[in-house]
Structure 1
Amino acid sequence: MSTSIATSHTATPHKGLPPGPKGTWIGGNLSQIGPRRVDFFLMLAQTYGPIASFRAGRWRLFLVSDPELIQQVLVTDARSYIKHFGARTFKPVLGNGLVTSEGDFWLTQRRLLQPAFLKTQVLSYAPVMAELTEAMLAKWVPGTSVDIAFEFSALTSAIALKTLFGLDDHGDRVRVDESLRLTFELLTHRLDSLFQVPLVFPTPANLRLKRAIADVNAVIDGFIAQKQAAPPGNDLLSTMIAAQREDGTQMTAQQLRDEAMTLYLAGHETTALTLTWSWYLLSQHPDVEQKLVAEWQRVLGGRAARASDLSALTYTAAVINEAMRLYPPVYVIGREATTDLELGGYRVKKGYTILMSQWVNHRDPKYFPEPERFLPERWLDGLASRLPKFAYYPFGGGQRLCIGVHFALMEAAIVLATVGQQFKFTLAPDAVIDIMPQITMPPKYGMPATLTRR
């Protein structure tokens, strides 16, 4: 895949569009995109180069795969873009939280939440992560079958509730996770549709979506009410309830709900997927797993991982990096131009959408030889420091870099090492493993495996 292109902010843009596949008059390229849209993105980059054009219904989109051009969008020209229509599709459930809000309002909220994710604060969460992981392992029975995706989602959501909200896990967590899964399925289907029936019309799909969102809201409201009734704590939810803005106002009940919903989702979903896909890859590469086990035996000697161990778990970090390269939890970022711009020698008109896909960039052979091969060793010689900033960006980039980077990486390492010392997973022989791109990228049919005591 070619990724080099000369860029100039002063060059006169081409009058035409970047190259791309032909589409139909009404739907554009919708029928070509399909449910595995990442394959379409990869085809675009490999066939048409570092900037390609296509259409989805009425939306004109550019797929950009050159790291310098991505930096131009996410950093240099960031103020000239907003989140794209795909992100706005998920506003019915995410509201105006940190993922979807814009401008000065977003910046105010980001500053409010940032202290909970500073590295020193995140380190204090490590004992809770290890304790809840060991509690999960105590319930596992060797020889039984589990869905790895479900188990890690349950664990990381319990960790998010305890560390960020100061709440213990209970049945409502299961209820909100089930409703969230249904909500994202329905919203993704809505995003893929040529004609979106406004939510005010009571179609069967709209009614199902509204019921699922109402169920999610009820549970999140319950979390907030439970915290409001308790003495103030040091957790993030307590901070949000008590926090005042510069003008002396506090968050409205709706804004509190939106931020709590966003943080709950972001605080567990991406790490659960990183763990799920890591164990899938390890199940297919026993040689890598043996190297991991040797590192855990040498550094940990059978005990749960601590924050102070992370610097010595270099191969563990390499496995996590490589899993996020092949299966990035967030596989695409989109921005919509708010004014006419230039990008890669082409004119980006106001309203055009720029897509940047981690799935595509993480498979560029220019930076990752044998890109489809699971090879953690590639990260052991300082590769991360040599790569362009946007050749590998599982947590996004620019001012909207994921607020929970340190949280997610520490959690993934602690859970992976603590689980892996006690159990290994054997994938079910009849398991069908496929991806299901939504706002994140869960396995389409789960990840069924048999537990074996190590």
Structure 2
Amino acid sequence: MSRTITIAKAGLPPGPQGTLIGGNASQIGTRRVDFFLDLAQTYGPIASFRAGRWRVFLVSDPELIQQVLVTDARHYIKHFGARAFKPILGNGLVTSEGDFWLSQRRMMQPSFLKAQVLSYAPIMGDLTNAMLSKWAPGKAVDLEFEFSGLTSAIALKTLFGLDDHGEREAVDESLLEVFDSLTERLDAIFKLPLWMPTPANLRISRAIAKVKKLVDGFIAQKRSRPLANDLLSTLIMAQREDGTRMTDQQLRDEAMTLYLAGYETTALTLTWSWYLLSQHPQAEQKLVEEWARVLGGRTPNADELTALPYTAAVINEAMRLYPPVYAIGREATRDLELGGYRVKRGYTILMSQWVSHRDPKYFPEPERFLPERWLDGLAARLPKFAYYPFGGGQRLCIGSHFATMEAAIALATVGQKYKFTLSPDAEIDIKPQITLPPKYGMPAILELR
């Protein structure tokens, strides 16, 4: 059935007035999720604004989101925000497009089959316990730092087959510097090309070069040893239909993408989960009772996770309120129709999980932390794109099962031994980048359970 554009909606969707040069850039600000939410609540399921020279439609209706990510997916590419991080992610799954992306996805998919992912559960449990062995009651910790270290170590072991030999922190520090700098570039109205040797560009280039050198070293180490049960080994051996394999550069791009996706998003899920639990002791008590009943102090194995429905509900609810990735963007490659409006070639469609996950139509009392809402089959009743922390369509996060298993194992292992009290002077806020970290960390005091 062909779509038509009604005359009444042939212009732009409703939205706020902007300035001639910057558009709505000054209104977006650093807490852009507030701007998105206000935009959707004020102007409805499809709204319009301008970020510098970019015309953006913010879409929050699940059917319209499905049209973009599924029905018309072949006519969209990643938007300018995602492309801004290509200097560090290269041509990996997050940034590549078209037939090349599809070929890579098909080649990598077997590495994420259920049996392969489940085989990593013991590593996740062992490394979580190794972290706990360094903790002590009364110790002040930054939960974001601790969980980033944990999930980074898990990613290093499961992806490269390597133990933490001191280079992980160097990778993570350089990555943080790169993402902070690239986010600042993305927010700037006027940008100088990265090849220009400005102080800021030189800092970015040095940090990127450092990360790439370290990852290249990991790949060289892996090629010099017998292949094992880690993701990089499976990627080295993976073949396309024509028998070709990935080059070292492509392996690096995919490894960088998987490493970042494999540690930061899960670390944030754990960080925000414990923040929410620290503010809701009744929910925390229900978790403790579930763990005592099912695990009795043991580190959970993969098979036991299905017997922990409240644990899964807490993780789902944390990702609803604080989705690790809070927005997805697509750029139209041809003129299209969406919600009765014309989407011109080059326009950006933005879909925000932060916004969708707060729709009272699907989530009554949307700002409340209510894990119980997930215990009566809510996930099966929701429209497909009312809740989508891992994206959707063909480009659904390839590591979603890995991430949810890792979060559940870590949450239960840590929570049976320790509880957390936020530091009295803790200031909790968000810092939207490509992900959603806490702006000032998550300072807390350890207490034995």
Contact preservation (8 Å) 2:4, 2:340 = no
For 1:364, the aligned partner's letter is: D
Choose from 13, 22, 27 the match for 1:27. 22
Map residues 146-295 of structure 1 onto 2, 5 A cutoff.
Answer: 146-295=141-290
Work out whether 1:95 is the aligned partner of 2:118.
Answer: no
Compute the displacement of 1:185 (Å).
Answer: 0.5
2:26 is the alignment partner of 1:46:
no
Match of 1:311 in 2: 306
Query: Partner residue of 2:402?
Result: 407
Distance of 1:8 and 1:293 partners within structure 2:
54
Instruction: Say if 1:8 and 1:344, in contact at 8 Å, map to a contact too.
Output: no
Separation in structure 1 between the aligned mates of residue 2 and residue 414 of structure 2, nearest angstrom: 49
**Is contact 1:274–1:329 with CA below 8 Å preserved after alignment?**
yes
Which of 57, 62, 84 is 2:57 aligned to?
A: 62
**How far does residue 254 in structure 1 lie from its aligned partner after superposition?**
1.4
Q: Write the distance in 2 (CA, Å) between the matches of 1:118 and 1:157.
A: 21
- The match for 1:388 is 383
Matched residue, 1:9: 3
Quote the Cα distance in structure 1 between the aligned partners of 2:195 and 2:222.
Answer: 33
* Structure 2 CA distance for aligned equivalents of residues 78 and 334 of structure 1: 12
Q: Aligned equivalents of 1:9 and 1:389: distance in 2?
A: 22
Write the distance in 1 (CA, Å) between the matches of 2:293 and 2:5.
56
How far apart, in 2, do the equivalents of 1:341 and 1:287 lie?
49
> Any idea what the Cα deviations from partners look like across 1:279-300, whole Å, max 9, x if unmatched?
0000111111011000000000
One-letter identity of the residue aligned with 1:174 = E
Question: Tell me, what secondary structure is at the counterpart of 1:139?
Answer: coil
**Secondary structure at 1:259 match in 2:** helix
Instruction: Provide, for residues 9-57 of structure 1, a one-character-per-residue CA deviation record: whole Å limited to 9, x for no partner.
Output: 3343632100000000000000000000000000100000000000011
Separation in structure 2 between the aligned mates of residue 345 and residue 295 of structure 1, nearest angstrom: 49
**Aligned mates of 1:205, 1:371 — CA distance in 2:** 40
Tell which deviates more after alignment, 236-245 or 319-328.
236-245
Q: Is the 8 A contact 1:327 1:359 kept in 2?
A: yes
Q: Distance in 1 between matches of 2:329 and 2:118?
A: 31
TM-score using structure 2 length: 0.98
Q: Deviations over 1:209-237 (max 9, x none)?
A: 11111111111112111111111113221
How far off is 1:162 after superposition? 1.2
Secondary structure at the counterpart of residue 415 of structure 2 = helix
Contact 1:35 1:436 survives alignment (8 Å): yes
Aligned counterparts of 2:227 and 2:282: Cα–Cα separation in 1 = 49
SS in 2 for 1:189: helix
Query: 1:429: which partner in 2?
Result: 424
Alignment size in residue pairs:
448
Is the alpha carbon distance of 1:236 and 1:344 closer, same or farther for their aligned partners in structure 2, counting shifts above 3 Å? same
Deviations 1:362-421 (A, max 9, x none): 000111111000000011111111100000000000000000111111111010000000
1:334-373 residue pairs with structure 2 within 5 A? 334-373=329-368
The one-letter code sitting in structure 2 at the alignment partner of 1:303 is: R
Amino acid paired to 2:402: F
Counterpart amino acid of residue 26 in structure 1? I
Aligned residue runs from structure 1 range 113-124, under 5 A = 113-124=108-119
Using the alignment, how far apart are the partners of 1:66 and 1:179 within structure 2?
38
Once the two structures are TM-superposed, the CA of residue 442 in structure 1 deviates from its matched residue by 0.6
1:133-144 to structure 2, matched below 5 A, reads: 133-144=128-139
Letter in 2 for 1:112: M
In percent, how many aligned pairs have the same letter? 80
Tell me whether 1:418 sits opposite 2:413 in the alignment: yes
Name the CA distance, whole Å, in 2 between partners of 1:379 and 1:167: 37
Preserved CA contact (<8 Å) 2:159 2:255: no
Residues 158-197 of structure 1, C-alpha deviations (whole Å, 9 max, x = no match): 1111122211112111110111111110000000000110
- Residue 270 of structure 1 deviates from its aligned partner by 0.7
Residue type of the partner of 2:218?
A: F
Name the structure 1 match of 2:434.
Answer: 439
What is the CA-CA distance between 1:443 and the residue it aligns to?
0.7
CA distance 1:442–1:8, shift in 2 (3 Å): farther
CA RMSD of aligned residues (A): 1.2
Range with greater deviation from structure 2 (89-98 or 170-179): 170-179
The whole-number CA distance in structure 1 between the counterparts of 2:38 and 2:6 is 28
Any conservation in 1 of the 2:313–2:372 contact (CA below 8 Å)? yes
Instruction: Give the match's secondary structure for 1:171.
Output: coil
Is the Cα contact below 8 Å between 1:29 and 1:54 reproduced in 2? Answer: yes
- Counterpart Cα distance in 2 of 1:35 and 1:356: 18
Alpha-carbon distance in 2 for matches of 1:222, 1:280:
36
Write out the 4+ residue segments of structure 1 that deviate beyond 4 Å after TM superposition.
none
Does the CA-based 8 Å contact 1:129-1:159 persist in structure 2? yes
Distance 2:388 2:316 in 1: 10
Q: Which residue of 2 aligns with 1:4?
A: none
Residue 251 (structure 1) shift: 1.6
